C-alpha cells in the first residue's frame, strides 16, 4: 500500500474516533434548553468528521487517481525534497504557538505571516509586509470586537 493510503487509513481512524465523540458523547451533557436549538455545539465537529471520513475513503479506495502522475512524492527519496523548508516552517508554527501569549496576537501573527513566506522563498517585501499586517489587524478586530473574544493584542510589557 502506498504512503498516501497509509496516511488516509490513519486519518480514517482519527476521523472515526472524532466522529464518535461528536455524535455520541458531546451531546450528552447539553442543557435541556440547548436541545431545542437547530445548531448544537457538536454540529461543526459532526460535519468535519463526516467530511474527513468521506475524504479518507476516497483516497483509500483510489477514486481520486484518474491517471498516474509523475510528480508523486516518493517516500524512499525524501532527502531529494526541501525538507529543510518544511521542518523550518513546522518550527515556526511551534514558535508562533509559544509566542502568542507573551508577545501578543498582533506582533506574533504578523511575524509568522512575514517569516512563513520568507522561509518558502518569497521576496516581495513590498507586498508581504503590508498584507501580513493588514490581515493580522482585520482578524484581531473581527475576533476581538465583532465576536467579543478577548485576545491580548500587544505584549504584556507594552500594556497589552
The pTM of this model reads 0.55
Is residue 33's pLDDT more than 80?
no
Do 47 and 92 reside in the same domain of the chain?
no
Confidence of residue 47 (pLDDT cuts 50, 70, 90): very high
Confidence label for 70 from pLDDT (cuts 50, 70 and 90): low
Question: Nearest 5°: phi and psi at 152?
Answer: -65, 115
Task: Mark whether 89 and 129 lie in a shared domain.
Answer: yes
Considering the domain architecture, whether residues 57 and 7 belong to the same structural domain is answered as yes
> Considering only CA atoms, which of 87, 115, 119 is closest in space to residue 103?
115
115-152 confidence digits (pLDDT tens): 999 998 888 889 999 999 999 999 999 888 887 878 77
By mean pLDDT, which of 9-18, 50-59, 64-73, 83-92 is the weakest? 64-73
Taking 60 as the threshold, does the pLDDT of residue 68 lie above it?
no
Residue 99 belongs to what domain range?
82-146
Number of domains in the chain: 2
Amino acid at each position: 500500500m502506498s504512503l498516501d493510503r497509509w496516511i488516509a487509513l490513519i486519518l480514517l481512524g482519527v476521523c472515526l474516533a472524532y466522529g464518535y465523540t461528536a455524535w455520541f458523547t458531546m451531546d450528552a451533557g447539553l442543557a435541556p434548553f440547548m436541545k431545542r436549538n437547530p445548531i448544537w455545539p457538536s454540529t461543526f465537529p459532526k460535519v468535519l468528521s463526516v467530511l474527513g471520513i468521506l475524504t479518507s475513503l476516497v483516497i483509500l479506495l483510489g477514486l481520486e487517481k484518474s491517471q498516474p502522475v509523475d510528480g508523486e512524492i516518493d517516500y524512499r527519496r525524501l532527502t531529494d525534497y526541501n525538507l529543510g523548508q518544511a521542518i523550518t516552517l513546522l518550527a515556526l508554527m511551534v514558535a508562533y504557538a509559544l509566542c502568542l501569549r507573551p508577545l501578543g496576537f498582533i506582533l506574533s501573527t504578523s511575524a509568522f505571516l512575514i517569516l512563513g513566506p520568507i522561509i518558502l522563498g518569497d521576496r516581495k517585501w513590498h507586498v508581504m509586509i503590508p498584507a501580513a499586517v493588514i490581515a493580522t489587524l482585520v482578524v484581531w478586530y473581527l475576533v476581538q470586537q465583532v465576536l467579543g473574544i478577548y485576545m491580548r493584542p500587544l505584549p504584556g510589557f507594552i500594556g497589552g
